[in-house]
Amino acid sequence: MSKIVNGASLQPRSGSAPEKIVLLLHGFGSSGSDMISLAPQWQDALPNALFLAPHAPQRCAMMGAGYQWWGLSGFAPSALAAGSASAAPAIDAFIDRKLAQYGLTESDLALVGFSQGTMMALQVGLRRPRRVAAIVGYSGMVTGTADLGHEVAVKPPVLLVHGTADPVVPVAALHMTAAQLKRIGLDVTTHVSYGVAHSVDPVGLKLGRDFIAGAFAGKE
């Protein structure tokens, strides 16, 4: 199993020991250094949270400076399911280490993903033995839907945000993902960002921030 050994982080604004963890999972060819840019915009609402944005264990052959959770050879459902399943153990092990390090539990953890990172946030977050506080997915989709009903152990609240002008992962992926998650009983909130491409706009950022804050406060 590949091990996550590096990345970017931002300590709690409060200056105290972390009471919550927000795990930010980057997209294909990106890095934790890019993904951590969300954190400063969320700190005011989540002052006691430690933000962790690890680099995926694999270097991305298609993008020299970036990383990948697995090598994207295509968008066939079977390939996506196999890829996300293969990458999950490294993230699970990283989560286990960090929760133990800070004396926290899954209820103190929120998972946030972008694109391929959304696939991983859903892959891992829905299969943890205990329920995480929330999952936020930007510009991504759920994988492994054929086995979803049998493998999902917990049902955390999920927010999905997607741009209508996304040329990489079409916005139809949001509707498919929401339908699949609702089918197995998850509480799913969605937001479509009109005219937005493969990125996150200010409205989407605010929605993600408020969703996580609400979940940590027990409101989701």
Confidence bin at 63 (pLDDT 50/70/90): low
Return the higher-pLDDT residue of 199 and 6: 199
Q: Calculate ∠ Cα 195-196-200, nearest 5°.
A: 155
Beta carbons within 8 Å of 1's beta carbon, 6+ residues apart: 89, 90, 93
pLDDT tens for each residue of 18-30 = 999 999 999 999 9
> Region 81-94: what's the mean pLDDT?
93
CA distances from 112 to 72, 99, 150 (A): 20, 16, 23
pLDDT at 78: 85
pLDDT tens for each residue of 73-82 = 777 888 888 8
